């Protein structure tokens, strides 16, 4: 399977590379304004947020520290259960730090709301969430998301860090998969 085949598995491109970079620039400018004069630590949630972290960090015209967490949600099927286990914790002590958690997509929000209460118990100076995409169900969750790229319909999307069975993360665009991929 070569790269051309991979791109052609996308039937519907929701967001192109250019649109994604433009949106991240907007979010970066909001963050620059909101955190002027403060030290910021951005925390990427592995593995999906790798692309967003890399491009958001480079869109930020200021100093920023980067750290990572990996979590797994015990889920049945495709939905997360909200019961979370930490696979890789932060290397950074976030006590009194300004922390922004960066994610690529929030679906039910269960994983993230668990993560936020875990991080909040470590007494950061502030704690906010930045996500590139958000699905409708996420709006029912009780944690506020300060920075959102786009709200999208309840469809399964891939690309730009988002996988289907660990593939498609390396696509530059975000889109939906052709039905033949699933069969
Ligand atoms: P939740 O917000 O439901 O706890 O889980 C969010 C996680 O589910 C995301 O980090 C992502 O790994 C996965 N996920 C949710 N919606 C999608 C989607 O449309 N496409 C892909 N590839 N993963 C998704
Ligand atoms: Mg994620
Ligand atoms: Mg996945």
Q: Ligand 3 centroid vs 146 CA: distance in angstroms?
A: 23
- Which atom of ligand 1 lies at the shortest distance from residue 164's CA? 22
> Model confidence over 160-181: pLDDT tens digits?
999 999 999 999 999 999 888 8
- Full strand arrangement of the beta sheet holding 98-106: 84-88, 65-73, 40-46, 98-106, 126-134, 147-151
> Model confidence over 120-144: pLDDT tens digits?
999 999 999 999 999 988 777 777 8
Which residues keep their CB under 5 angstroms from ion ligand 2? 45, 48, 103
Among all residues, which ones are annotated catalytic? 107
SS3 state at 72: strand
Check residue 132 and give its pLDDT. Answer: 98
Q: State yes or no: pLDDT of 155 exceeds 60.
A: yes
Distance, in Å, from the CA atom of 108 to the CA atom of 105, rounded to the nearest integer, reads: 10
- Which atom of ligand 1 lies at the shortest distance from residue 110's CA? 4
Distance, in Å, from the CA atom of 112 to the CA atom of 167, rounded to the nearest integer, reads: 23
Distance, in Å, from the CA atom of 14 to the CA atom of 12, rounded to the nearest integer, reads: 6
Q: Are 18 and 75 in contact (CB under 8 A)?
A: no
Q: Ligand 1 centroid vs 140 CA: distance in angstroms?
A: 15
Q: Ligand 1 centroid vs 37 CA: distance in angstroms?
A: 34
Distance, in Å, from the CA atom of 141 to the CA atom of 7, rounded to the nearest integer, reads: 33
In CATH terms, 3-177 corresponds, of 3.30.70.270, 3.40.50.2020, 3.65.10.10, 3.30.56.10, to: 3.40.50.2020
160-166 contact pairs (CB < 8 A, 24+): 160/15, 160/20, 160/51, 160/52, 160/104, 160/132, 161/47, 161/48, 161/49, 161/50, 161/51, 161/52, 161/104, 162/48, 162/104, 162/105, 163/47, 163/48
Q: Give the pLDDT mean for 143-155.
A: 93
Q: Which residues line ligand 1 (CB under 6 A)?
A: 48, 73, 80, 103, 105-112, 156-158, 162-164
Which residues keep their CB under 5 angstroms from ion ligand 3? 163
Q: State yes or no: pLDDT of 16 exceeds 80.
A: yes
Q: State yes or no: pLDDT of 102 exceeds 80.
A: yes
Per-domain residue ranges for the chain? Answer: 3-177
Q: Dihedrals φ, ψ of 156, to 5°? A: -85, 120
Q: Whose CA is nearest to atom 17 of ligand 1?
A: 156
Q: What is the ipTM of this complex?
A: 0.95
With a threshold of 0.90, does the pTM exceed it?
Answer: yes
Check residue 4 and give its pLDDT. Answer: 60
Check residue 75 and give its pLDDT. Answer: 62
């Amino acid at each position: 399977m070569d790269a051309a085949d991979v791109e052609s598995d996308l039937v519907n491109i929701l967001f192109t590379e250019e649109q994604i970079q433009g949106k991240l620039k907007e979010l970066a400018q909001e963050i620059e304004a909101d955190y002027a004069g403060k030290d910021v630590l951005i925390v990427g949630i592995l593995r999906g947020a790798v692309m967003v972290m890399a491009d958001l960090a480079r869109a930020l015209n200021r100093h920023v520290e980067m750290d990572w967490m990996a979590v797994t949600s015990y889920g049945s099927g495709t939905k997360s259960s909200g019961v979370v286990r930490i696979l890789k914790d932060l290397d950074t002590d976030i006590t009194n730090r300004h922390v922004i958690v960066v994610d690529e997509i929030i679906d039910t929000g269960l994983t993230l709301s668990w993560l936020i209460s875990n991080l909040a118990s470590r007494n950061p100076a502030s704690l906010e969430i930045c996500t590139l995409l958000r699905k409708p169900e996420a709006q029912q969750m009780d944690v506020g998301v300060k920075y959102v790229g786009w709200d999208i319909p309840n469809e399964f999307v891939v690309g730009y860090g988002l996988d289907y069975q660990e593939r498609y993360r390396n696509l530059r665009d975000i889109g939906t998969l052709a039905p033949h991929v699933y069969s």
